[in-house]
Structure 1
Amino acid sequence: MQIYQPLSLLLFALGATGLNFSYESTRLTEHDIGDFSAITFGDVSSAPSTYEGPEYKIQPEDAAWPSEEQWARLNTTVYGNLLKPHPVGAACYPNRPEYNDSTCAYLLGRATTSRFFFNDPLTALTTWGEGATCLQLLNTTGRTCSQGGFPVYVVNATSVRDIQVAVNFARNQNLRLVIKNTGHDFIAKSTGRGALSIWTHFLKDIEFLSDYSIGEYKGAAARVGAGIEAWETLNAMVEHGNITVVTSLDPTVGNGGGWVLGGGHGPLTSLRGLGADQVLSLNVVTADGNFLTADLNQNQDLFFALRGGGGGTFGIVTSMIVKAWPGRTKIGGLTFYFTTGSGQVTIPSGRGYPSTPPVHIADAETFWKAYREYLVFAKEIVDAGGFGFGDVTPQGNNTYVFVGTFTLPDIPSDKIKEFYTPLFTSLSKIGVEIPNVRHAFLPYAQRGIGVTPNSFPGTPADTFFISRLLPRGLWAAAAAANNNNSETPRLDAVAAANWGTAEMGYRVTTRAYGPSAEAAGYPGNTTTSAVNPAMRDMVIHCAIFNPKPVVDVLPAAEFHAQHARLRARVDELVRLTPESGSYFNEADILEPDWQRSFWGEHYPRLLEIKKAMDPWGLFWAPTTVGSEQWEVVAADGLPT
């Protein structure tokens, strides 16, 4: 089959107007290359349309692995920014030269309430995706520590030039390349055995533009460096005083990185769209080492792919320009919860909003009827531009705790009680009386320091999970069934399936948000982006978590057995929602039919762009566009 390049793939040179920050003005030149042939630029035009290169990437044990002299020269070329780090957990293992019991105690103590792990070049907060090869534990008896799935070398990028040098070196030396920003990584995109990693974490600039114009867009905007995290964006909003930028829910997620590239949901998603819908322009280093701008006017196919097509796939973004909305946003919300049984229950986090006292329900059947009422109401939350949480945690012996929170940006203060009253009325009708319902208003932008309860890896929450998007059609069918007294609608079947899942000990979470085309706005609703079409028609993002933390998932065979049991539960949801899919950034690392699940009808175009932009297969991570071309296997043939 002949592969052709659409006209919009012709790459335009980046002029001075494409620069967002000073670190982007420092770029690789022919003078820098000199006789160092390992960092020469690639030539897309001379690459064959079908890959004809080596069958595998070079690993440290291979004879072709770069010599120490080559690595030293690479380090000199990036001005000493090449690191060869060890896993931080090595401090806890007596047989490691890095062993230090004081350091180990720090890792499990004060480091967990600091920025330590975010500022580490290797750490990924989900450790099982790396292989859990060097967990930080006070008692490591019987355990070992190795580099495992962590990269061998890391370029701490301080300029576009650093990134270009690293990209060219990895491509020319046939090395595995990975990209890391903050370390929020659910599907092993920022780790890789024997890899060279490009770390964009410290590309931290942010700037507001009062008047920006491109295409049909005219208004305020923000320039955002690749390493900027949500809390830094929020702090900048506080300082500015009268502007709103869409960010992630977790303040330590990188706004300028994989969050946007994979879609990017957050508190304002139902009102303003996904992170990808905010993007007006991106600066990016591509697989041939060139530095380009992709926007509505140039490199349009790359602009399409980078907005929702997945991180670690089409290039390394150095900065972007995103929409900024006028005014300060306030969010009204409340938290409520109910539980079966009469035992003591730890009051859950109210996410900053008032929380009701515990409501004890005598039987599981009534509990799950109340859960179903929340599912029905979730559509109202989305339609009001809000974001909802509805989580069920099993407590054993057929007992459960449900925690519900919903947040409503820009709702008038005199309308919020009117909004939520129907939910609590419907709960009352089935015998679940929620007492002392109270709401509050919080500013969307609040100052932070970039430390959260998820600021460290290896916690009990470090478990694998599988997710499914629940489409709007479930609610339409439920309404029709209620009106016509017809057969049990699919929404009821979803509630019943989740009950069965929780009975098996799995935690079932829902996030109600709806990044419709209307919410996306321009250019998301008029210029096609790579965002999964299933996300445009969703109401709930449902995720089911394996109960065992990573420290209990050691042998590959056991991991696969646990995964198969969890997959069987999610497949019930898949069967009930055949028209839908899953969210790339928060999904199953072994998602079946992932091409359709993550991108639907967009996948053929994305694959065409990938082959044209990266004919070497340089940018690779599990279940990314074009990753079918490569696989990582262990000696026993199992994925690792």
Structure 2
Amino acid sequence: NVSNAIRIEAGVQWGEVYRLLSNFNLVAIGAASGTVSAVGGYLQGGGHSPLSRWKGLAADQILEYDVVTADGQRQTINACQNSDLFWALNGGGGGTYAIVLSAVVRTFPSPSIVATTYSVSAANATRYAKLIESFVEILPALADAGWSGYFDIVDLTLRALFHVPNGNLAALNAILNQFAANNSDLDFNSTNSFVIPSFYHYFALIMEPNNPTGDGFLVSSRLIPESIIRSKPAQVAEVFVQVKGQSTTGSILRGSLVAGGQVSNTTNRNNSINPGWRTALLRMACTQSWLDTTSQADQDFLAAQVLLRAEMLDKVLPVGSQPTCYANEAIPSEPNWQEKFFGSKVIYNQLKSIKEKYDPFGLFVCTNCVGSDDWTSDLN
């Protein structure tokens, strides 16, 4: 059942979509950064969102595409017409199957937002490890209370921005106060909690000014299963501390509480979203930035460190488990990328067969996209 929807054309950015929809007190499930293109690789790659725990991933919201296929034909793609291509476009990666001219996505009445920001530091590595363990232990309570948000683990500091769509300020503060009481020797005086009347106002005030663009930057990511966080918080926290960012080198370990909730809803089968999303609670990203004056040799070293830190995150998984990551936030040198980006070789092969059906001569190709393994590494 769809009450409202919007058709978004190629080239439109999420900030523009949010701004337009706010005039009607509506919202779509879109990116945290306003300059992300709405119907490109973000949408076609799955699309996590500040609101994804509330309503599902962005690719869960797609009703229809208007595309041009490799044979030059303009076609309508939905669950009834060209349903195999619709399935592939909904999560199977952008730039691969057809030229997307526009997409129709669900919209929802905008929620109010209850939010909090805080930054807390420890005096030494031992105390910091205990702080991160306490934080991981409380994550299931945040998830059960409908929280979403982002946190950075850097040096000896934990920074966080969390929000609850249609939340209750007293309930939010109760959980925060419990976390502070569990760490009463640390300074939580920088904590701020507030209520904002709509998602757009929250986005414009808090998220849009912090748009992370314009730098030399690499990222690798892992989807961390909810079951592991609930059952082995001490093990998870230990690994997070090992992988933490260092401000002196420009690295960050950024966690996104954007899975679980409605992201775990598997009733929508009209998409090829990496199944790792359906069992995850967190998307953890190892990021690395550098100056324009950094030598190529140093950049290569930093890239190797980004990959190494992501592989360290795999230690939280049971032995023999297949790591998964978010292909839109992944390092190009990721080994076994077919399984990690798309969930399994079976899913990858299914996507590849659809690509070969609609693009038999490989007109559409990009690095580590479906079908790119038929090309050399420089795509020649």
- TM-score higher than 0.5: yes
| AA aligned opposite 1:470 | I
Gaps of 5+ in 1: 1-216, 340-360, 395-399, 480-488, 634-638
Going from structure 1 to structure 2, the CA distance change for 1:247 and 1:373 (only over 3 Å counts) comes to same
What whole-Å deviation, never above 9, does each CA across 1:172-229 have from its counterpart, x for those lacking one? xxxxxxxxxxxxxxxxxxxxxxxxxxxxxxxxxxxxxxxxxxxxx3422112112221
What whole-Å deviation, never above 9, does each CA across 1:447-477 have from its counterpart, x for those lacking one? 86997454752x3xx2212211111121232
Aligned match for 1:374, one of 125, 128, 135: 135
TM alignment of 1:584-603, pairs within 5 A: 584-601=327-344, 602-603=347-348
Gaps of 5+ in 2: none
TM alignment of 1:33-112, pairs within 5 A: none
What does residue 497 of structure 1 align with? 242
Which is richer in helix?
2
Greater radius of gyration (CA): 1
Whether 2:349 is the aligned partner of 1:567: answer no
Q: Deviation at 1:504?
A: 8.9
For 2:218 and 2:303, how far apart are their aligned partners in 1? 8
What does residue 179 of structure 1 align with? none
Aligned match for 2:113, one of 331, 337, 348: 331
| 8 Å contact kept, 2:118–2:192 | no
| 8 Å contact kept, 2:221–2:283 | yes
What does residue 257 of structure 2 align with? 512
Going from structure 1 to structure 2, the CA distance change for 1:223 and 1:616 (only over 3 Å counts) comes to same
| AA aligned opposite 1:464 | L
SS of the aligned residue for 1:253 comes to coil
Going from structure 1 to structure 2, the CA distance change for 1:274 and 1:553 (only over 3 Å counts) comes to farther
For 2:331 and 2:322, how far apart are their aligned partners in 1? 18
For 2:281 and 2:176, how far apart are their aligned partners in 1? 17
Whether 2:267 is the aligned partner of 1:525: answer yes
TM alignment of 1:303-342, pairs within 5 A: 303-325=86-108, 327-339=109-121
| AA aligned opposite 1:511 | S
Q: Deviation at 1:528?
A: 4.1
For 1:257 and 1:369, how far apart are their aligned partners in 2? 41
SS of the aligned residue for 2:343 comes to helix
For 2:113 and 2:323, how far apart are their aligned partners in 1? 29
TM alignment of 1:389-404, pairs within 5 A: 389-394=150-155, 400-404=156-160
For 1:525 and 1:331, how far apart are their aligned partners in 2? 27
SS of the aligned residue for 2:272 comes to coil
Could you tell me the TM-score, scaled by structure 2's length?
Answer: 0.89
What whole-Å deviation, never above 9, does each CA across 1:258-284 have from its counterpart, x for those lacking one? 211111111101111111011011111
Aligned match for 1:444, one of 199, 216, 219: 199
What does residue 188 of structure 2 align with? 434
Going from structure 1 to structure 2, the CA distance change for 1:284 and 1:383 (only over 3 Å counts) comes to farther
| AA aligned opposite 1:236 | L
What is the aligned residue count? 371
SS of the aligned residue for 1:595 comes to helix
The share of aligned pairs that are identical, in percent, is: 25
What does residue 624 of structure 1 align with? 369
Q: Which structure is richer in relative contact order (CA contacts within 8 A, separation 6 or more)?
A: 2
Which is richer in strand?
2
SS of the aligned residue for 1:223 comes to strand
| AA aligned opposite 2:199 | Y
Q: Deviation at 1:631?
A: 2.3
Going from structure 1 to structure 2, the CA distance change for 1:245 and 1:373 (only over 3 Å counts) comes to same
SS of the aligned residue for 1:585 comes to helix
Q: Deviation at 1:293?
A: 1.2
| 8 Å contact kept, 1:270–1:383 | no
